[in-house]
Amino acid sequence: MSPADTSQRKSDAFRAVLRIRDFRYLWAAAGVDNVGRWMEAVVMGLLVLELTDSPFQVALLFVFRWAPMLLLALLSGMLADRANRWLLMVVIRTSIWAVIGILTILVATAGIQPWHLFLGSLLLGLLYVLEFPSRRSFIYELVGGRRIVGAMSLETITVTIGRFLGPFLGGFIVQYAEEIIRYDGYKSAFALLAILYGLAWLLTLLVKSRIPARSSGAFNFWATAATGIRYAWSNRIIRSVLGFTMIMNALAFSVESLFPVVARDHLGVGEGLTGLLIASQSIGTFVAAIGIGFFSGSSYHGRIFCVGLFIQLVSLVLFAFSPWYPLSFILLLCAGIGSAGFGTMQSTIIMIAATPEVRGVSLGVLGHCIGVSAAGAVVVGQLAEHVDANLAVGMSTGLGLFLLVTLLPLSPLVRRPITPPDELDANDEGTSSARPAAT
């Protein structure tokens, strides 16, 4: 195959997915939602820092956001297997809009208190965990297994755009809105959030597909939970993804809660440059996600996943000890490159490896592993109360890098391709790694 043919085939992976009308609406809704989600995280973090001047309370905001993922992810996965996923997404979007609307009113009337932000963060986290497996299962049903890598690469691109525009807009508006439009920065930021979440609700409402649930009838929660956990544990591929996800979220993703503190206290910059610094990860993620989409025909998803883990952790360790803003910006950009491989393949591998009947539950188990970031944020936030925030970041990510290097040789993710369960090799039951794909 010539280079031109290869390039055409890779581009077709994106076009094939974007031809699906309902995926386009879901993709657009995700793009708007991600701008709002990342903007909201920065704006609320800056506001808590201004109100309390406490690194721990800034980290606590992160804890409230991700605690529902730790506690309820499996239940949301079961719901994804049994509910009308479109209706569930519409209800969730409506609820998110309502929460942001209430916070906007409190900010506009100068009645906002830290506990309002903690409660709002908890509710938004709860709604996100309910949406997480439903949305991804819905996408899989729309596009199918052969196009899922292209679809998830596009999803990663929207997350990336959101991670850039959201923090950048949040920091810029908070610092400069009063100078430009003569209106308070926090009031302006929350008003824009209400508009963004309203648009995401409308785009979701326009989706026409009503894919039936995979499971029906009465079920025993604990029996279903046990089945899902046993399945995930017995599948070596899924087990490896879950293990590395726990390491990353407990020791790497959790430190993002301290980025506003590091920017202010270690790098000495204001809200605008803080937002830009946090947004820098998305530049690397955007470029890497496009490249991953071009390699959507590969079955070696685990290699991309593991390389992404390594790049992200090394970059974050170096970022923790960087004394200069430009270098810190570049290092977070490199962390974003790694994040693309990790983030894109995390859900993709599980969706490919799991059988349809337990796909939602398996994603729910993944959600629990993601949720350990809440526990990690408690530890790193408390640590930052006693040592410099950047040192707390370095200690946490350094431990994560050590664990990754130690455990990676034991994982099958690098050695074998990822293929659906119906292609399992009879001699390797219990894994989703099958015979090498034909070349």
For CA atoms 306, 415, 362, 349, give the dihedral sign.
Answer: positive
Specify whether the CB–CB gap between 106 and 118 falls below 8 A.
no
Specify whether the CB–CB gap between 43 and 177 falls below 8 A.
no
Residue for token pair 């031109």: 4
Q: Of residues 61 and 157, which shows the higher confidence score?
A: 61
Percent with pLDDT over 90 in the chain: 36
Mean pLDDT for the chain overall: 83
Q: How far are the Cα atoms of 75, 332, 352, 407, 418 from residue 358, in angstroms, in the given order?
A: 12, 36, 11, 27, 17
What's the alpha-carbon Rg for the chain, to the nearest Å? 21
pLDDT, position 8: 55
Alpha carbons 412 and 239: distance in angstroms, whole number: 10
Q: Residue 229 CB: number of other CB atoms within 10 A?
A: 17
pLDDT, position 432: 38
Report which secondary-structure segment, H or E, holds 83: none
Alpha carbons 198 and 304: distance in angstroms, whole number: 35
What tens digit of pLDDT does each residue of 399-423 get? Answer: 999 999 999 888 888 777 677 776 5
Q: Residue 120's pLDDT band (boundaries 50, 70, 90)? A: very high
pLDDT, position 97: 94
**Helix, strand or coil, per DSSP, at residue 268:** coil
What's the whole-number mean pLDDT along residues 420-438? 43
Question: Does the domain formed by 11-206+227-428 have CATH 1.20.1250.20?
Answer: yes
Specify whether the CB–CB gap between 329 and 394 falls below 8 A.
no
Helix axes 236-251, 389-407, angle to 10 degrees: 160
pLDDT, position 95: 95
Alpha carbons 195 and 355: distance in angstroms, whole number: 39
Q: Pull the structure tokens for residue 181.
A: 């439009």
Specify whether the CB–CB gap between 102 and 123 falls below 8 A.
no
What backbone phi and psi angles, to 5 degrees, belong to 412? -85, 0
Q: Pull the structure tokens for residue 47.
A: 């506001």
Q: How many CA atoms lie within 13 A of 214 on its CB side?
A: 17
